[in-house]
Chains A and B, each alone.
Chain A
Amino acid sequence: MNILEMHNIHTYMAGFHILEGVNLTAEHGKLTILLGRNGSGKTTTIKTIMGLTPARSGEILFQGRPIQKLHDFEIPWLGISLVPEGRDVFSQLTVEENLLIAVRKGKKVPKQRLDYIVDIFPPMKNLFKKKGRNLSGGEKQMVAVARALVNEDKLLLIDEPTKGLAPIMVESMRLALAEIKKNATIILVEQNFEFAGSIADDFLIMEHGKIVCSGEIGDLINNREMQHMYLGV
């Protein structure tokens, strides 16, 4: 079953045609990785799903329901969370407040979700009172992912979580994603093919605002030629 489908999506930004007819599907319960070179439209695809850069034409189905006409602030309520490329942890808020502001129902982060988050990111335990601006890059990334976990969402869109991280942080992020994957569908934008290949189920490759290739990750791992052609690996 597909949790998300995009049909012939066209998106423009500041007059530029960025997505030129994106078609993609992401299967329920799987981790789908979105690969492609810089500027191929990966981040715009994610933002278009979230309604932040609305599609000009085409259809987006979430669990079979068209969502491309919804306002950006309505989309998360369907059970979709975003971990943006720049992490975008609020620097004036504490980590605790960064999580709290993401809670959609209720007045605080449910205890069981907090436990779950600390379970996945043990170092978070000591960060709650720290302001966003005092966090290291790796800590910010943890908080950004944790913020997407407070609501028990069905679909997580995670944009380049390993960008600029030290190798040891990349490894702990890999373990964390492997854990998160058990309870949620993930679409992951990634440049680091080695990292992605080790946890993904399916893959999508973008080029010039289109999906040019997709399938199970095993096919890509075994196909050096394809890797070379699309990813320059």
Chain B
Amino acid sequence: MTSQLFVNILLSALSLGVIYFLLSSGFALVFSLLRVSNFSHGSLIMWGAYLGIYLVKALSSFSLGLIISAVMIGIILALVEFFLFRRLYGGNPLFELLLTFGLIYILDEAVKLVWGAAIITVDKPSFLQGTVMIYGEPFAILRLYIFGLGAFVCAGLYFLLNKTKLGLIITAGIENKEMVRALGININRVFTFVCWLGGFLAGIAGFVLAYFNGLSPEMGTNQLLNVLVIVVVGGLGSFMGAAIAAVIMGLAEAFIGFYLPELAVLSSFIVMFIVLSIKPSGLLGEE
């Protein structure tokens, strides 16, 4: 392998990793605070994709489409938290699981009703087309844009979680909800906000994905699987772990895809089985 080719695969792998991070960060965030594993996350990603592309066309603005759709996907999950999750807190967590599972039907079928069941191709806006030369090899501008967006989201999350009081409350709540309440903080409102944020991240992820893979009503369940594998590999409840796992998944998929293309579709499972057999609780999971 030439070093140019290696760099090129590495860059593809990393941009894949960034996508995986975008896909799983919302799920990981919601799980770490609420301890609800939101199985409808993949469907929210799909909604982000469909709604985002629709809005881009309707408003003929790329950035407005992105922001408005992500905000709205966030609102969907915030409403779900407010009206549905709240009824189940403190009970058997099984019902939360089943509830989010049931939401998959509603969200997925609603997408089919609104936009149809056919696969839709998505045209890239002109500024995302074409390639740039990096280290003597062409590299798609779209991937550069994903790096940028990923970096922006990372920075935003870092700032929110580490530099704001709300972030402190979230971090504290992940560790000990009772003490947070005993300090006079209404943690239910924080739950709603975090669900909004989780949905917002799903919206962004879906939007990005649409420019990569187009739109299909299957994408929700497919992405759910990616998300779950990533958070399990990273260690459930660990936000950092999910980020690391996302990058590892990107690397594995790109390199396995290069050497053993038949196995590319199984690469994430291969990583999962290796990691879980060495450390069953995941990379940064609590034992």
Q: In the complex they form, do A and B come into direct contact, defined as C-beta atoms under 8 angstroms apart?
A: yes
12 A-B contacts (beta carbon < 8 Å): A52-B181, A71-B186, A73-B181, A76-B183, A90-B175, A90-B179, A92-B171, A93-B168, A97-B168, A101-B169, A104-B184, A147-B183
Interface residues of A (CB under 8 A from B): 50, 52, 71-77, 82, 84, 88, 90-93, 97, 100-102, 104, 107, 147
- For A74, the chain B residues whose CB sits under 8 A away are 184
Q: Flag B157-181 by CB within 8 Å of A: 1 or 0 each.
A: 0000000010011011011101111
Identify the closest chain A residue to B178 (Cβ): A52
Q: Which chain B residues lie closer than 8 Å to A76 at the CB level?
A: 182-184
Which residue of chain B is the closest to A72 with respect to CB atoms? B181
Are A73's CB and B187's CB within 8 A?
A: yes
Q: Does B185 contact A (CB under 8 A)?
A: yes
Given contacts A93-B168, A93-B172, 5 further A-B contacts (CB under 8 A): A50-B182, A72-B181, A76-B184, A88-B179, A90-B175
Could you say which residues of chain B place their CB within 8 Å of the CB of A52? 178, 181-182
| B185 and A73 contact, CB distance less than 8 A | yes
> Are B176's CB and A90's CB within 8 A?
yes
| Bound CA span A147–B181, Å | 14
Cα distance, A123 to B87, chains bound together (Å) = 46
Q: Are A90 and B171 in contact (CB under 8 A)?
A: yes
Question: In the complex, which residues of chain B have a beta carbon less than 8 angstroms from the beta carbon of A97?
Answer: 168
A82 and B171 alpha carbons, distance in the complex (Å): 20
A90 adjacent to B172 (CB under 8 Å): yes
The range of chain B's interface size is 10 to 19
**In contact, A72 and B182 (Cβ under 8 angstroms):** yes
B contact patch SS:
helix
Shortest C-beta distance, A126 to chain B (Å), equals 21
| Minimum CB–CB distance for B180 against chain A, Å | 8
The answer for the CA separation of A140 and B37 in the assembled complex, in Å, is 32
Q: By the criterion CB–CB under 8 Å, are B184 and A77 in contact?
A: yes
* Contact B183 A101, beta carbon cutoff 8 Å: yes
Contact in complex: B165, A101 (CB < 8 Å): yes
Residues of B24-46 whose CB lies within 8 A of A: none
Whether the pair B184, A73 counts as a contact (CB closer than 8 A) is yes
Note all chain A residues with C-beta closer than 8 A to B179.
Answer: 84, 88, 90
Query: In the complex, A92→B183 CA distance in Å?
Result: 17
A-B pairs with the 4 shortest C-beta distances?
A76-B184, A88-B179, A90-B172, A73-B186
B182 to chain A, nearest CB (A): 5
CA–CA, A194 to B165, complex, Å? 40
Q: Which of B171, B176, B178 has the most CB of A within 10 A?
A: B178
**Given A90-B176, A91-B175, A101 contacting B168 (CB threshold 8 A):** yes
Q: Which residues of A contact B184 (CB under 8 A)?
A: 73-77, 104
Closest to B172 in A: A90
A229 to chain B, nearest CB (A): 33
Tell me, in angstroms, the Cα distance from A101 to B169 when the chains sit together: 7
With the chains together, A221 CA to B27 CA distance in Å?
A: 58
Asked whether, in the complex, the Cβ of B168 is within 8 Å of the Cβ of A84, the reply is no
Give the docked Cα–Cα distance between A75 and B185 (Å).
Answer: 10
Which residue in chain B gives the minimum CB-CB distance to A91? B175
Contacts of A72 in B (CB 8 A): 181-182
CB distance from A134 to the nearest CB of B (A): 15
**Chain A min CB distance to B4 (Å):** 42
Nearest CB of B to A28, in Å: 21
Q: How far is the CA of A93 from the CA of B186 in the complex (A)?
A: 19
- Whether B176 and A88, one on each chain, are in contact in the complex, defined by CB atoms closer than 8 angstroms, is yes
Query: Please, how many angstroms separate the alpha-carbon atoms of A101 and B183 in the complex?
Result: 8
Q: A84 to B186, Cβ gap below 8 A?
A: no
Residues of A within 8 A of B180 (CB): 101
> Residues of A contacting B174 with CB < 8 Å?
92
Question: What B residues does A147 contact at CB under 8 A?
Answer: 183
Instruction: Identify the closest chain B residue to A150 (Cβ).
Output: B183
B270: min CB distance to chain A, Å: 33
Return the chain A residue nearest B176 by Cβ: A88
In the bound complex, what is the Cα–Cα distance between A101 and B180 (angstroms)? 9
- The reply to whether B181 and A100 form a contact with Cβ atoms under 8 Å apart is no
A72 to B179, CA, bound (A): 10
Asked if A84 and B172 make an inter-chain contact with CB atoms under 8 angstroms apart, the answer reads no
Residues of B within 8 A of A71 (CB): 186
| Chain B residues, CB < 8 A from A92 | 171-172, 174-175
User: Could you say which residues of chain A place their CB within 8 Å of the CB of B181?
Assistant: 52, 72-73
In this complex, what residue of B is CB-closest to A71?
B186
Min C-beta distance of B169 to chain A, whole Å: 6
